[in-house]
Amino acid sequence: MTSTPEIQDQIRRYLLGELDDGTRAEVEKRFLSDGEVFEELLVAEDEIIDDYASGRLDPEERADFEAHFLATPERQQKLRFARALHRHAMNLANERETVKQPVIRSLWFGRPGLSWAATTVAALALIVGTVWFLRSRTAPPKTFATLTLTINQSTRAEGAPAAMVKLPLAADALKIFLRLPGSVPPASRYRVVLEADDGETRPLEMSDQDGESIAVVIPATQLKRGQYVLKTFGTGVNGVEQRIPGNYFFTVE
């Protein structure tokens, strides 16, 4: 199947979480059945990351990117690489401007080729590291430790009881089942944000969803000791996202 502008637009909107459930399911079927469309997905991922890192997304797209696209650790890592490459390109451009000045030029070439050689080596190392990462994408976890949490209306400051997780984790990842409160209407899709006790927050990868609970996955390598709170958001059939009242707590020891 040959890629068309319509397919490219659908893929971009899919990555930004802008499709309705029916259209999203159709696009996902194409990824599984058409190799060209799947390759187009990988290209679109890199393009959106580059657009975000260079500030080319409009405010609405930036919000969708941060809320939906960055839901997996792999994409977060790719964004970090993209930002590093952009910073290096800007630094290299600034250095080239600087050496145009006569005084700086004489200092720069005081040791012929040394500064440019160091810069070139650094650039090559960064590019090689990026290529290696993109080719050796993190394999999905094969084993899981599981945890089931019930929503709590308390805040962390009030000393809400928290489930315990012991390190080292004897599995590739921690899979957490979040029981949904019966008082909240079902949503068409959910979003979960993890907040550590130092204030650091990050979106989590969704793995399962049904009428009673949702599940998220945290790789074992991303767990560190401390208390965590999970905050959930639901998007209704009207497309409006709302915070689900309450928090889910767990502690890693």
Tens digits of residue pLDDT in 25-74:
887 777 667 777 777 888 888 888 888 888 888 888 888 888 877 776 66
**Residue-number span of the structural domain to which 102 is assigned:** 72-135
| Residues 54 and 93 both lie in one domain | no
Is the same domain home to 246 and 190?
yes
Helix (H) or strand (E) holding 6: helix 5-15
Residues 212 and 119 in one domain: no
Q: What span, in angstroms and rounded, lies between the C-alpha atoms of 231 and 227?
A: 14
- Say yes or no: 124 and 196 in one domain: no
DSSP helix/strand/coil, 238: coil
Q: Does residue 245 share a domain with residue 153?
A: yes
Of 87, 117, 135, the position where a domain reaches its end is: 135
Q: Are 104 and 151 members of one domain?
A: no
Bridge partners (DSSP) of residue 202 are 194
C-alpha 108/C-alpha 93 separation (Å) is 15
Dihedral through CA 181, CA 21, CA 59, CA 84, nearest 10? 90
- If one compares 135 and 175, the residue with the highest pLDDT of the two is 175
The least confident of 64-73, 142-151, 232-241 is 64-73
* 129 has pLDDT over 60: no
**Token pair of 109, please?**
């070439």
Looking at the fold, whether 54 and 87 belong to one and the same domain comes out as: no
**Total of domains in the chain:** 3
Structure tokens belonging to residue 91: 């630094």
Domain boundary among 69, 97, 116: 69
Separation of alpha carbons 244 and 214, rounded Å: 13
Find the CATH number of the domain harbouring 204. 2.60.40.3350
Listed residues 135, 162, 184: the one ending a domain: 135
User: Distance between terminal CA atoms of the chain?
Assistant: 51
Residues 59 and 87 grouped into a single domain = no
**Under a CB-based contact definition with an 8 Å cutoff, are residues 79 and 53 in contact?**
yes
- Are 119 and 58 part of one and the same domain? no
Q: Residues 40, 81: one domain?
A: no
Q: Are both 15 and 37 inside the same structural domain? A: yes
Residues 127 and 152 in one domain: no
pTM, full prediction: 0.49
Residue 136: what pLDDT? 44
